[in-house]
């Protein structure tokens, strides 16, 4: 049994990880015939009969709506093979979950932990935690009763597939090798999927994906996830927000942001709208006034629902008017509290407050 990696194998890990990330973040359209073949193969390798009908959909939303329509109208009865009845329980356990348990047993705890740390954990932040979960939550909120969870995320399943695949590449053998290969092939060639007895819905990949520097879905000017049927998801540094908060942010009202029940959305909305505009609806407490509008004031603002006020530098910019920008309580540069407007100015540009010289010329 393999329990440790060689130096060459260790060196290969980051290369393979990025290959897997590229699959997970692909926005290339899927090949419909290849996708259908991969789905059929996944069924048969799991010991199930290949689905009689495979619908290729433009997005998970389209797939779920199609399933709901087929289940809830008489149309389903007319499609033959008791399709309507088949659209109840999905085949998550048969096609996937059982496989995972089996694979882990073959991989062994030592090697599995090592590979998870290097491959799975890293990819999970980007593809699973941020992308997959975000899209799933969004679908759940928008589609409500038509929503159903799926285990099959296509390329976004790379976090868990990558480390089993790497194990396979270095010589680990699995009892259900062909089933795993079929799953891998599905992930390489398809987007999300919803699988039932006799019926499968396979989705295209997104056409757009946008992230911030920390790998969280984020786009200040448009959707973070978009599909070719027009289904879009909007996020602000990972927090899901309504479309108009991004698409029509000039007309977003501070009061609408404050009325939002979800506190994460409220914080995101305030950042989207900008703190100068939020000042009109929040009480500001002045902590320090430099006496010079150019250097400004250090103020505290409280956001309803959150326990601690936040600190902000409020100053005048020659071009943009009033600016209001968040600062931490303690500077990471000199470890000192940010208690003055000068200290806030110093933190913004990464200087110790003792070294900060405010410029005479600002444009």
Partner 1 sequence: MKQVIGHQGEIRIVKIDALPADMQAEATDKGQKGFIISHSENGNHHLLVGDNVAVIERQDVPSGMQILYGIVSGDAELVQDAATPHDGFSLPEGFYEFRISREYDPFAQQARRVAD
- Give me the 285-324 binding string for partner 1, x by CB under 8 A, dash otherwise: ------------------x-xxxxxxxx----xxxx----
Among 299, 327, 341, 343, binds partner 1 (CB under 8 A): 327
Among 14, 80, 328, 337, binds partner 1 (CB under 8 A): 328
> Which region among 112-120, 158-166, 248-256, 266-274 touches partner 1 (by CB under 8 A)?
266-274
**Residue 262 binds partner 1, judged by CB under 8 A:** yes
**Residue 237 binds partner 1, judged by CB under 8 A:** yes
Nearest to 327 by CA among 338, 315, 319, 342: 338
Q: Tell me the longest C-alpha to C-alpha distance in the chain.
A: 80
**Residue 281 binds partner 1, judged by CB under 8 A:** no
**Residue 332 binds partner 1, judged by CB under 8 A:** yes
The dihedral built from the CA positions of residue 224, 227, 232 and 238, taken in this order, carries a sign that is negative
Give me the least distance between CB of 350 and partner 1, in Å please: 5
**Residue 264 binds partner 1, judged by CB under 8 A:** yes
CA distances from 44 to 70, 84, 184, 208 (A): 24, 22, 14, 32
Nearest to 95 by CA among 172, 221, 222, 185: 185
**Residue 258 binds partner 1, judged by CB under 8 A:** no
DSSP per residue, 96-145: IIHHHHHHHHHH-HHHHHHHIIIIIHHHIIIIIIIIIHHHHHHHHHHHGG
Among 123, 161, 267, 295, binds partner 1 (CB under 8 A): 267
**Residue 271 binds partner 1, judged by CB under 8 A:** yes
**Residue 263 binds partner 1, judged by CB under 8 A:** yes
286-321 burial: b if 16+ Cβ within 10 Å, else e: ebbebeeeebbbbbebebeeeeebbbbbbbeeeeee
- Residue listed under structure tokens 């790379």: 158
- Give me the 333-352 binding string for partner 1, x by CB under 8 A, dash otherwise: x-------------xxxx--
d(CA 277, CA 12): 50
Give me the least distance between CB of 217 and partner 1, in Å please: 14
Q: What are phi and psi of 323, to 5 degrees?
A: -110, 150
d(CA 210, CA 234): 10
**Residue 170 binds partner 1, judged by CB under 8 A:** no
Nearest to 203 by CA among 135, 141, 125, 137: 135
Give me the least distance between CB of 167 and partner 1, in Å please: 33
**Residue 241 binds partner 1, judged by CB under 8 A:** no
Number of residues in contact with partner 1 under rule CB under 8 A: 42
Closer CB to partner 1, 106 or 219, in the complex: 219
Give the footprint of partner 1 on this chain (CB under 8 A). 220-221, 237, 239, 262-264, 266-268, 270-271, 303, 305-312, 317-320, 325-328, 332-333, 347-350, 357-363
């Amino acid at each position: 049994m393999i329990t440790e990696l060689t130096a060459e194998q260790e060196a290969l890990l980051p290369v393979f990880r990025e290959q897997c990330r590229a699959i997970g973040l692909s926005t290339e359209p899927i090949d419909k015939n290849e996708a259908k073949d991969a789905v059929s193969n996944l069924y048969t390798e799991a010991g199930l009969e290949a689905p009689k009908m495979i619908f290729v959909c433009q997005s998970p939303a389209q797939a779920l709506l199609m399933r709901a329509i087929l289940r809830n109208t008489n149309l389903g009865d007319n499609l033959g093979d008791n399709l309507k009845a088949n659209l109840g329980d999905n085949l998550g356990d048969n096609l996937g979950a059982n496989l995972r348990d089996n694979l882990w047993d073959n991989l062994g705890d030592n090697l599995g932990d090592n590979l998870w740390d290097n491959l799975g954990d890293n990819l999970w932040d980007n593809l699973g935690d941020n992308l997959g979960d975000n899209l799933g939550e969004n679908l759940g909120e928008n589609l409500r009763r038509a929503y159903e969870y799926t285990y099959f995320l296509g390329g976004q399943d790379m976090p868990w597939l990558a480390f089993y695949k790497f194990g396979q590449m270095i010589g680990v053998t699995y009892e259900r090798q062909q089933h795993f290969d079929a799953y891998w092939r599905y992930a390489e060639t398809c987007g999300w999927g919803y699988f039932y007895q006799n019926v499968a819905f396979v989705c295209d990949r997104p056409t757009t994906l946008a992230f911030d520097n920390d790998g969280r879905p984020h786009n200040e000017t448009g959707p973070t996830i978009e599909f070719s049927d027009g289904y879009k998801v909007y996020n602000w540094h990972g927090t899901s927000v309504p479309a108009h908060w991004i698409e029509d942010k000039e007309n977003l009202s501070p009061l609408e942001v404050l009325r939002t029940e979800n506190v994460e959305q409220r914080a995101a909305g305030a950042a989207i709208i900008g703190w100068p505009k939020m000042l009109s609806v929040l009480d500001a407490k002045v902590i320090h006034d430099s006496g010079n509008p150019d250097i400004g004031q250090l103020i505290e603002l409280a956001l309803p629902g959150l326990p601690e006020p936040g600190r902000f530098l409020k100053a005048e910019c020659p071009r943009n008017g009033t600016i209001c920008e968040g600062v931490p309580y303690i500077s990471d540069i000199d470890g000192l509290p940010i208690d003055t407007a000068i200290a806030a100015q110093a933190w913004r540009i990464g200087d110790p407050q003792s070294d900060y010289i405010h410029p005479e010329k600002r444009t």
